[in-house]
Amino acid sequence: MELTILEKVLWPAVYAAQWGLLAHLWRTGLWRRYRNFTAYLLGLTAQDSVLLWLNPASAPYAYVYVAGIVPIAVLSLLAVGEIYQLALQPYRGIQTLSRWVLSGAMLIAVVVSVATVALDFTNPAEPYPILRAFNAFQRTFSTAIILFLLAVNAYLVYFPVPTNRNTVTHTQAFLFYFAARTAAFLVRNVLGPEVVPAASAALLGVDLLCLGWWIVRLVPQGEAQPRPPNGRWSPAEAEVLLRQLEQLNSKLSGSWWRER
């Protein structure tokens, strides 16, 4: 399937933005803090560096695209795990215990995602069943990632934890980024390849917005700048919650969880 004019404009723009974000992370030194995220970006950029020179309707394009699905999925999972570590960085004890909770949460997310996989196979007129199967995997995987990111966002929103602006920005951008991917894959699988041009253009547009947002908002100053105040709690209530978190963290830091 040939690219539309809009796709031909947006894809090179996204590719340039990927390089721009990589250069930004390198220049500012933030790649050291966001190593897994940087590796994920490198994986995407490397794949696009090949795909841009191939005909989207050709077999080599399909081979390169399919070959990159699993490696990029692994890199994205590592990048999301990095977000979790950043969110709980002030509380190492809780972070250690939460590895068990994280495993359970991810398992639940995967079960929920797999339970909805039937939606991807509701179109009986699918001309490319193998491609739909790969897209169903990506959609299911992205759904699991979204559910996990929602949990991390809920934690950051609910608790007045002393995290920085970059962590909040990074988490929210990744949530929006994967939500767009999940929607695009689901629409394509349910409605068929006829919607690919529109879904692809919309996804490229979201990619461009997220990459630009990371470039603008993910800055060295954001590492030292506290996140905006949480209006959910009064100062007194926030102090009580933080004290409870610190007490829990102190107990867990010296418990048997640390040895597991």
pLDDT at 158: 72
Using the CB atoms, write b or e for 229-260: b if 16+ within 10 Å. eeeebeeeebeebbeebeeebeebbeeebeee
Is residue 165 a part of any domain in this protein? yes
**Residue 70 belongs to some domain of the structure:** no
Cα first-last separation, the chain: 51
Asked if residue 10 lies in contact with residue 201, where contact means CB atoms within 8 angstroms, the answer is: yes
CA distance 214 to 34: 12
Residue ranges of alpha helices (H) inside the chain are 5-28, 35-51, 59-67, 69-87, 92-115, 129-158, 165-191, 196-217, 221-224, 235-253
Residue 226 lies in a domain: yes
Assess if residue 133 is contained within a domain: yes
pLDDT band at 116 (very low <50, low <70, confident <90, very high): low
Residue pLDDT, tens place only, 6-52: 999 999 999 999 999 999 999 999 999 999 999 999 999 999 999 99
**Total-model pTM:** 0.80
> Structural domain of residue 246, as residue ranges?
76-259
Number of domains in the chain: 1
For residue 258, the 8-state DSSP code is G
